[in-house]
Amino acid sequence: MLVIISDLHLTDGSSETIHQGTLRVFRERLRSLAYAASWRSGGIYKPITDLTVLLLGDIVDVLRSSQWLESGDGTALRPWSDSRHPDFVQKIDAITDATVAKNAVFFAMMRELHGTSIATVPPAAGGGRPALNGTDGRGVERIPVKVHTHYMTGNHDWYYHLPHSPYHAIRAKLVTAMGLENDPAQPFPHDLEEPAAAAIRRVLEEHRVFARHGDIYDSFNYEGNRDAASLGDAVVVDLVTRFAIEVKSALGDSLPQECLAGLNEIDNVRPLMMVPVWVGGLLRRTCPNPRQHRQIEEVWNGLVDQFIRIPFVSDHLGARRPFLNSEKLKLGLRLSKRLLRPEASRLLLFLQEKITSPAQSYSPYALEESAFTSRRAHFFVYGHTHRYEMVPLDSGYSPGGVVNSIYLNSGTWRPVHELTRFRPGREMFVGYNTMTYLAFFKDGERSGRTFESWSGSLAQSNPSA
């Protein structure tokens, strides 16, 4: 059995992390899945002995840390600084340590999984049935299921893909903290063709699965080299993260509590380009003071001006890169400087449709994977978009019966805020908590079924209710 999750975005506390209740749900679901997988085709019970959990990128979120902004003047270390420099290595090390400490419950759960203290199943009795407690008047000791956990990187944790020797010790901390089977002396893989992905590739092939994080199809977050920063990194650090910090510094406790809480959520707005729309609508709903509106607008405008002057950013915006439409981004930044005016929202909404991937779904990219054209895989899994999907790709016949090809997106475990479709110019968003996991089976597991996917949404609490 293979279980895939992605996009947990565990932070060092700089922004909201996943709810602890989500961890309890996942732990219980793994137990249930292990038992269900032990039922084989023909109704025969045969306990599984091991399962694999694949963490498909953006698990530890190094990018969304306020530690990148410690100097606050735009000259501190940034994701695009020299990754070999000792100060850069120390920064990644410090963020990793803080993230492990902040999310101690999650890391403890992962270690327990690796230690087989959580995933257990009943032993088999005669006649291909499970030996359940009480069937013969006495208790039955459950069988531990060995859990193998592997880590692949995405665009918020690409630092663990860096090959330089100082990162071995940093990766070793995650290996220990989570019970990973990755070799810390090798980069955590980003692509299945990398040597470090050999064990992951073998498990995926056994389950007829192809998987990647999916950031390679997002030109703002991947520019052809996963050992280097992208323009999306700059947007997260020097606009999204820095904006909330600067507003709190300038206005402090004078803002209404609901407004401050909303500012803490801006990194959960999807897509990120809608952050100015979120802020504009937030202020109009929660902050009746026009003077504070102007102050916040001045903070944003100042950050946009500074952002454009950052050499890394100006180089990207000035260069003609086939994979990045810099002119549309520059227009979006100029429009965002009018974030408190309703017409700015309408223009940004229009621009959003023009900048993002032409396909709302990443499923068309799966049709171009060699694993699809060669029919080596039946299931194609991406993460990155934070939006769970299941899209049928193809169906055909083989000597063994019908063969279906399916695209699945592994969603996220983070809160999400999305702009409403009805009259979007009103700048109204709906927020909810999500959790998605995917499971794949082989050798007749799960009564002969080959996959199952679960994606749940939980409404956020309403303080006024």
211 DSSP β-pair partners? 381
The alpha carbon dihedral of 109, 99, 4, 359 has a sign of: positive
The pLDDT assigned to 293 comes to: 82
Angstrom distance (rounded) from CA 171 to CA 100: 12
List the chain pLDDT tens, one digit each, 465 residues: 999 999 999 999 876 666 667 788 888 899 999 999 999 999 999 999 999 999 999 999 999 999 999 864 455 799 999 999 999 999 999 999 999 999 998 999 899 888 766 788 999 988 889 987 654 435 678 889 999 999 999 999 999 999 999 999 999 999 999 999 999 999 999 999 999 999 999 999 999 999 999 999 998 899 999 999 999 899 899 988 898 889 888 887 788 888 887 777 777 776 666 777 777 778 877 887 888 888 888 888 898 889 989 999 988 887 655 545 555 666 567 666 665 555 455 544 544 554 444 447 899 999 999 999 999 999 999 999 998 999 999 998 877 778 899 999 999 988 776 666 665 555 666 767 788 999 999 999 999 999 999 998 777 666 544
Would you call 85 helix, strand, or coil by DSSP?
A: coil
* Residue 313: C-alpha distances to residues 269, 305, 310, 316, 326 (Å): 22, 11, 5, 5, 10
User: Residue 307 in 3-state DSSP?
Assistant: helix
The answer to whether the peptide bond before residue 271 is cis (omega within 30 degrees of 0) is yes
Q: Which residues contact 423 (CB under 8 A, 6 or more apart)?
A: none
Closest CA to 282 of 134, 431, 88, 130: 431
Structure tokens given for 108: 């403890």
Q: Is residue 50 within 8 Å of 148, Cβ to Cβ?
A: yes
Residues 33 and 389: their CA atoms lie apart, in Å, by 20
The rounded distance, in Å, linking the Cα atoms of 387 and 410 is: 7
Q: Determine which helix (DSSP H) or strand (DSSP E) holds 372, and give its type and residue range.
A: helix 370-373
Q: Which of 162, 25, 31, 4 is nearest to 84 (CA)?
A: 162
Coil, helix or strand at residue 188: coil
User: How far apart, in Å, are the Cα atoms of 37 and each of 44, 58, 210, 380, 419?
Assistant: 11, 27, 20, 21, 39
Q: What is the pLDDT of residue 45?
A: 96
Place of tokens 């749900």: 25
- In angstroms, rounded to a whole number, what is the distance separating the alpha carbons of residues 84 and 73? 22
**By the 8 A CB rule, do 33 and 121 touch?**
no
DSSP H or E stretch at residue 53: strand 50-56
The DSSP secondary structure of 220-270, one letter per residue, reads: TT--S-TTS--HHHHHIIIIIIHHHHHHHHHHGGGS-HHHHHHHTTGGGEE
For 16, which DSSP code? -
Strand-pairing partners, residue 22, are: none
CA distances from 234 to 77, 221, 226, 329 (A): 12, 10, 15, 13
CA distances to 150, 171, 366 from 180, in Å? 6, 10, 28
pTM score, whole prediction: 0.89
What is the DSSP annotation of 331-364? HHHHHHTTTTSHHHHHHHHHHHHHHS-SSSSSHH
Query: What phi and psi values does residue 245 have, to the nearest 5 degrees?
Result: -65, -45
